[in-house]
């Protein structure tokens, strides 16, 4: 938004913390007059067709990638652009990885692009998260909870939080690390 001085945007998330944090970032960057963030269920959000739509790691909200591509198409003007961040298998997934992400939910990178084409888009660009980026993302996910546990060892919720972070770390390091990828597709709506 800082690079497009006439652009206006809005974003939706159902998580109060995410919206509060996002609004603080919007204010800190002086973008409050052009960026609106709402706490809402995105699947019921009515909006005029936009020039650009961004959906990163949120396909589960719509019930899957195909449903997301269809829903985003309805929210884009013809010729508009979708930046879609979605999962794919970099290699044959382990049983544990399939247990975490589901048997049928994701395919290869080529499958993801084919699905986008079949849903009425053309592909303009593909990039994928590197292993370092994944490790950084997962480390920070775990570390925020580990820091809380270090500061609150006797909290009544500590055992539950410890179990969640242990389970997540096992899924990452013993399950899907190096197998599950995240692709960013820039798509043009036909
Ligand atoms: C993996 S996070 C990705 C967040 C963000 N797009 C990013 O790239 O950092 C998925 C987000 O989808 C949100 N979400 C899930 N279902 C939703 C729904 N029905 N309506 C709005 N937000 C939803 C969650 O609250 C969560 O913040």
**Residue 56 beta carbon below 6 angstroms from any ligand 1 atom:** yes
pTM: 0.93
Q: Which of 108, 128, 136, 111 is nearest to 185 (CA)?
A: 128
Q: Note every long-range contact of 21-26, with CB atoms under 8 Å and residues 24 or more positions apart, other chains counting.
A: none
Mean pLDDT of the chain: 96
pLDDT tens digit string along 46-72? 889 999 999 999 999 999 999 999 999
Write the CA distances from 96 to 38, 111, 163, 179, integer angstroms.
36, 21, 17, 11
Q: Is the pLDDT of residue 135 over 90?
A: yes
Alpha carbon of 17 to ligand 1 centroid (Å) = 11
pLDDT of res. 106:
96
Helix (H, G, I), strand (E, B) or coil at 85: strand
Contact 138, 181 (CB under 8 A): no
In the chain, what percentage of residues exceed pLDDT 90? 94
Mean pLDDT confidence for 73-100: 96
Asked if residue 37 lies in contact with residue 10, where contact means CB atoms within 8 angstroms, the answer is yes
Residue 182 CB less than 6 A away from ligand 1: no
Ligand 1 lined by 178 (C-beta under 6 Å): no
Integer Cα distance of 114 and 183 in angstroms: 13
How far does the centroid of ligand 1 lie from the alpha carbon of residue 13, in Å? 6
Q: Classify residue 64 by its DSSP letter.
A: S
How many C-beta atoms lie closer than 10 Å to residue 61's C-beta?
17
Nearest CA to ligand 1 atom 6: 56
Per-residue pLDDT tens digits for 2-39: 788 899 999 999 999 999 999 999 999 999 999 999 99
Its CATH architecture, for the domain 9-130+180-189, is 3-Layer(aba) Sandwich (3.40)
Atom of ligand 1 nearest to the CA of 45: 20
């Amino acid at each position: 938004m800082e690079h497009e001085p006439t652009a206006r945007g809005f974003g939706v998330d159902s998580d109060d913390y995410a919206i509060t944090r996002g609004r603080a970032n919007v204010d800190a960057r002086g973008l409050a007059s052009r960026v609106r963030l709402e706490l809402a269920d995105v699947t019921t959000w009515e909006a005029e067709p936009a020039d650009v739509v961004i959906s990163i790691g949120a396909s589960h909200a719509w019930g899957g990638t195909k449903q997301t591509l269809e829903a985003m198409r309805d929210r884009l003007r013809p010729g508009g652009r979708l930046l879609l961040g979605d999962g794919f298998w970099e290699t044959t997934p382990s049983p544990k990885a399939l247990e975490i992400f589901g048997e049928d939910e994701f395919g290869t990178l080529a499958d993801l692009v084919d699905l986008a084409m079949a849903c009425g888009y053309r592909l303009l660009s593909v990039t994928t998260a590197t292993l370092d980026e994944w490790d950084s993302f997962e480390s920070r996910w775990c570390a925020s909870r580990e820091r809380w546990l270090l500061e609150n060892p006797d909290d009544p919720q500590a055992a539950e939080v410890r179990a969640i972070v242990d389970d997540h770390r096992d899924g990452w390091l013993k399950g899907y690390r190096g197998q599950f990828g995240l692709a960013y597709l820039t798509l043009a709506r036909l």
